[in-house]
Structure formats: structure tokens, C-alpha cells
Amino acid sequence: MQHDDGMLVAPTGFGKTVVAANLIASKGVTILVLIPRETMINSPR
């Protein structure tokens, strides 16, 4: 089985969520997103 790994890095307002959602949908795969816990704790709500 072959795996394609990737990372999407772009500035605020680029549309990373939209780009990632489209890539995931086009591949028809399940993904796992990992972020540092501190990122979530310190993120604006």
C-alpha cells in the first residue's frame, strides 16, 4: 500500500481549510489532523 503524506502551510486568510477540504474530498480518503494542544488552548474563540 502506498501513502501520500503532505502538509499545507500558508498565511492567515489563504483558505487552508477550503483547500484541504477539497483535496481530501477529491482523494476520497480518511484523514487525521494533529495539532499541538497549546495551539487549541491559546486560539481565539
> Would you kindly state where each structural domain of the chain is located, as residue ranges?
1-45
Q: For the whole model, what pTM was predicted?
A: 0.54
pLDDT at 1 over 50: no
- pLDDT tens string 7-25: 888 998 999 889 988 988 9
Instruction: Give the model's pLDDT for residue 29.
Output: 84
Task: Give percent above pLDDT 90 in the chain.
Answer: 18
Quick check: helix, strand or coil at residue 36? coil
Q: Residue 44 pLDDT more than 80? A: no
Rg (CA), the chain: 13
Chain mean position to CA 1: 22
